[in-house]
Amino acid sequence: MLKGLLTELKNISQRVTIEYPKAQHFIALARLNKPIGIYLLLWPTLWGLWFAAEGFPGWHLFLVFTLGTILMRSAGCVINDIADRDFDLKVKRTANRPLVLKLVSVNEAIIFLVVLILLAILLVLTTNLLTILLAITAAAVAAVYPLMKRYTYLPQVVLGVAFSFSIPMAFAATTGEIPKLAWLLATANIVWTVAYDTAYAMVDRDDDLILGLKSTAILFADMDKLMIGILQLMFIGFMTMAIRLTELGWPYLLGLVVASALLVYQQYLLKDRIREKCFEAFLNNHWVGLSIFIGVTAHYALL
């Protein structure tokens, strides 16, 4: 179901690229050709929906939150690239982005951003007032995130907060309230986000030091792997605590076991701090989120 939707969106983007060559630059600007960010935002969102509905939440909310995730993640990438275009030119990983290469103008990027946000607004307006208010707050946090690396060593925490608002939003849209379970899952997701985004920041650490930018990878310094490990343990601990609030069964536990094994594998990838391996460890978190989602859905489907 979800895989089919993402495949169809990919096929649409390919057709658009063929008919409108410049479209490929907007696709790259929104990172639709690199969906890892969408996955990392989508899986926790779907955890929230399934927990809140105690199973499939219905097509309306499923499509609203799935499409909303894609739109807002894309908008976040556009905001980030507009704010960081001068820095991106000097960083190996980002030097070929559309705004840096002037394949898309700043004005075009702003128009594109407005369109993405308007579409997301239309989606959230089909829910309720509490969800709308949470969405406004989430958008504000996401908007200031690109500036955080200039002023604080904790931009990953701000990103974690932005990435976790979808969980209380899912409960608000489904049940009209935000229970303790929603805040527990959101806290777990913040911790997990800081862990994997620190691994991501390790890829750019040398460039960031030269440019005077800040991150948790720089803050943790030689303790980076240890701190990521502690955060990963905290994440699994919080997700295990959810069992007490929902009486989850063996499918969910199995999902957590698989996720834990993947986190151990990430520590192996990070051991020598090799740039490519750090990036591989970051990408591996897609499977962590998916493993937990499968565990949640299997619990409500089988038990």
Q: What is the pTM of this model?
A: 0.91
8 A C-beta contact, residue 229 and residue 267: yes
Given a cut of 70, the residues of the chain with pLDDT beneath it are 1-21
**Residues near 211 by Cβ (< 8 Å), separated by ≥ 6?**
87, 90, 91
- pLDDT tens digit string along 199-213? 999 999 998 898 899
Q: Select the CATH number that applies to the domain covering 2-302 from these four: 3.40.50.300, 1.10.357.140, 3.30.450.20, 2.102.10.10.
A: 1.10.357.140
Closest CA to 61 of 6, 119, 124: 124
- pLDDT tens digit string along 38-80? 999 999 999 999 999 999 999 999 999 999 999 999 999 999 9
Q: What is the pLDDT of residue 89?
A: 84
Between the alpha carbon of residue 185 and those of residues 47, 181, 279, the distances in Å are 8, 6, 25
Closest CA to 287 of 259, 250, 251: 259
Rounded distance between C-alpha atoms, residue 288 and residue 54, angstroms: 21
Rounded distance between C-alpha atoms, residue 9 and residue 14, angstroms: 9
Whether the CA torsion 35, 41, 47, 53 is positive or negative: it is: negative
8 A C-beta contact, residue 160 and residue 197: yes
Closest CA to 200 of 224, 222, 226, 223: 224
